[in-house]
Every structure is written in C-alpha cells, then in structure tokens.
Amino acid sequence: MEYSLPVLPYELDALEPYISKETVEFHYGKHHKAYVENLNILIKGTGFENSSLEDIIKNASGPIFNNAAQVWNHSFYWMGLEPSTPEIPFGKLAKAIDTKWGSYEAFVADFSRVAVGTFGSGWAWLVKKADGSLEIESTSNAGTPLATGSKPLLACDVWEHAYYIDCRNARSHYLHSFWRLVNWEFVEKNFE
C-alpha cells in the first residue's frame, strides 16, 4: 500500500495573512510530502507494508515511527486550521474548556505557554484523556498522543519549519497567528 499526501481542504494561500502561502508551500508541499515519500520507501518489504497509519504509529519505532507519526500529525494539523472560522470554541467543548481552565483566554494562555516552551522541535496538543477530561500535552519531534492513548483534538506544530518564513525564530508570534486560524468545528467534532 502506498501512502499519498492528503489534499488540503483549502487553497495554499487561504491562511494568509496569518500563515503565508510560501510557508504552506514549504511546510505542506515539501516537509509533509517528504514524510509521506520516506514512509513509503521505509515500509517496503517490512511487516508494515499493508498496515494502517495508526497501526504503524502504535507498533513501529525508529525512522518508520518518525515518518508515520509525522504524516499523521501533519494531516491532523492542517485539518485543525481554517481560513474563515469561528474564533472561539462553542458547544460542549466550550463548556469543557471553561470547566478546566475557567475561560477560553486562560486556556489559550496555558496552551501557548506549553507550545512556546516545548524544547526544540515538537508539538503542542489539546487532548481528551481516557476519563473524558481535557489536557494540554507537549510531544518532542514526531511524538504523538496516538502513541500514548489520549485522543487528539487540536495540534500545533512548533517545529521551526512551521514558522521560520513568516516569523523567523519568534514562535510566540506564530502562536498568535495560530489562534486566528483554529477550526473549532473540527476540534468540537473530535471532542464529541
């Protein structure tokens, strides 16, 4: 089975002015694409050739895990962004965020702190734990909550390749842009 790069649910320039077309061209068109191509090469002739991405993530290690997880993480990241989107959560998710953090603003501050504070390359996640509660998690490199059993609701890629074109080294600047683009309908759907 060959994996392919998923089609973005919007145009390459749709996230402007917050995330530039050039960033998406590189991040999606080169980095994400390379993970897909590397994974296809790496699984050839192994027991993972006909496995689902989720199965590979749960059972593989080393380069196969890294590339499979990065394929999944990026596909999930792009789905969590949208150009014209309600700017705050709604429905049951909004209630759960208020219960845990007190307010949307407090949640954003906490998530941003975790994202900006993630050492080196990695990801910040809003996840639903097995007991139904919300949590913010940070993973390094290709790490993904899929491997630990939490249900991912929202991902923020904090690898430098996600923001160096638009924000140079200013990850906190990128976080400001990120919040303008979160697809809360997608997050809400994942929560339910």
Residues that bind Fe ion (CB under 5 A): 157, 159, 162
Nearer to Fe ion, 39 or 162 (CB): 162
| Nearest Cα residue to 71 out of 9, 2, 153 | 2
Nearer to Fe ion, 36 or 162 (CB): 162
Query: What is the closest distance, in whole angstroms, from the C-beta atom of residue 131 to Fe ion in the complex?
Result: 30
Query: What is the closest distance, in whole angstroms, from the C-beta atom of residue 85 to Fe ion in the complex?
Result: 20
Q: Can you tell me the distance from the alpha carbon of 119 to that of 102, in angstroms, rounded to the nearest whole number? A: 27
What CA–CA distances, in Å, run from 177 to 10, 17, 155, 156, 192? Answer: 17, 9, 14, 11, 26
Which residue number has the CB closest to Fe ion?
157
Query: What is the closest distance, in whole angstroms, from the C-beta atom of residue 97 to Fe ion in the complex?
Result: 25
Which strand ranges, in their side-by-side order, compose the sheet holding 151-157?
Answer: 134-140, 122-128, 151-157
User: What residue type is 42 in one-letter code?
Assistant: L
Query: What is the closest distance, in whole angstroms, from the C-beta atom of residue 27 to Fe ion in the complex?
Result: 6
Q: Can you tell me the distance from the alpha carbon of 101 to that of 181, in angstroms, rounded to the nearest whole number? A: 21
Nearer to Fe ion, 80 or 89 (CB): 80
Burial of 133 (0-12, 13-18, 19+ CB in 10 A): exposed
Query: What is the closest distance, in whole angstroms, from the C-beta atom of residue 191 to Fe ion in the complex?
Result: 23
Nearer to Fe ion, 159 or 191 (CB): 159
Q: Can you tell me the distance from the alpha carbon of 36 to that of 67, in angstroms, rounded to the nearest whole number? A: 7
Query: What is the closest distance, in whole angstroms, from the C-beta atom of residue 159 to Fe ion in the complex?
Result: 5
Nearer to Fe ion, 159 or 178 (CB): 159
Nearer to Fe ion, 76 or 159 (CB): 159
**Cα four-point dihedral sign 70, 84, 26, 165:** negative
